[in-house]
A = this chain, B = another copy of it.
Amino acid sequence: MNDVAAAAGLSRTTVSKFFNGSATLKPDTREKIERACRALNYVPDLHAVSLVTGRSNLVGVVLPFIAEPFFGKVLQLMEREAAALGLQIVIQASNNDTRREAAALMALRAMKVHGIILTPIESNDNRALLASLQKEMRIVFLDSFMDENCHFVMNDNHQSIGLMVNYLLSRNVRPAYLGTPRIANPSRPERMAGYIAAMKAAGETPEVIPVAVDTPTWQFEAFAYEQLLNWCGQGGLRESGAGAIMCTTDRMAFGAAKALRKFGRHPGKDMLLAGHDNLDICEYMDPQLTTVHQDIERISQAAMHFIQLDPAELGGRLYQQRFAGRLVIRESA
């Protein structure tokens, strides 16, 4: 910066003002600085800036897994938002390990990140840590949270599940429900409750497919495949009278389809099948998967919007947003 100031024949203060967007600089001065920067290939040292200002242009994102298609898409959308705001994303995966999650959070704190976007693991291990962190920095929960007393952005599960139940009923089939493994809070109970409520509202008896092993796995396809195989093996298909299997995620529907085929069924023909999320790959499954689109565009936008929000604007209120899903009808139902 000294060099730039010297080359431009100005003081460091003036150069600093230039980078902080001061409107009081003469066009002439600006140009001199721009020229000097270009000549010296100068870019301000962000660590020095962060040290003195006490904040950085970094935003931390902590997700259970990065390669999970839903999270991958959300991350990509958030990156676009971040870039537009001049923010950089530091990405960490907790890998469903509470210690990794805690370490990631602490590292982000040491970096004085602008804020944190977090999809927490379903566990109480980091409850205290999170509670104290929430006091000193901006933290918004995405898709999942510990308790209602936080900022969050997520899908409107009640609405989106209701949409699918009613659509399936309108096709004159009774959907049996296959729920998520024990990982996503509060989406798991919310979606289940949404299914039950919508069925009852329509005067139908809900049928939740029993889950043999309720381990907190992220292998949705394998989980659904095994649970449904089990159910079919025990005569569930015969006894149930359900005309559709309604899954809480697309990935589960992919596993369910495989299990149905194994039992000689043709998903979309003699047994309707529905997912939830609208992953890109749905269009290329056979049959193409009918699902509900989560509004990940707005979810991602809202999360990043919160990060750059001046806390004063919230006026002490909690930032809590739920976005409505949209039915996407394809071949499977």
Contact = CB atoms under 8 A, between A and B. Distances in A.
Contacts of A309: none
Interface stretch (A101-109, A141-149, A154-162): A101-109
Interface string A56-75: 10100000011101001101
Sorting the interface of chain A by its residue count into under 10, 10 to 19, 20 to 34 or 35 or more gives: 35 or more
Residue of A90, A100, A111 ringed by the most chain B CB atoms within 10 A: A111
A310 interface: no
B83 A75 contact: no
A100 B79 CA distance: 11
B283 A285 contact: no
- How many copies are assembled? 2
Contacts of A132: 41
A83 B72 CA distance: 19
Interface stretch (A43-51, A176-184, A194-202, A312-320): A43-51
B50 A47 contact: yes
A242 interface: no
Interface string A32-48: 00000000010111111
25 contacts: A43-B109, A45-B112, A46-B47, A47-B48, A51-B51, A65-B76, A66-B66, A66-B72, A67-B73, A67-B75, A67-B280, A69-B69, A72-B72, A76-B93, A79-B91, A79-B93, A80-B93, A83-B93, A89-B91, A89-B92, A221-B284, A254-B281, A257-B284, A258-B284, A285-B285
Interface of A: 41, 43-48, 50-51, 56, 58, 65-67, 69, 72-73, 75-76, 79-80, 83, 88-93, 95, 100, 103-104, 106-107, 109-112, 132, 221, 225, 254-255, 257-258, 261, 280-281, 283-286
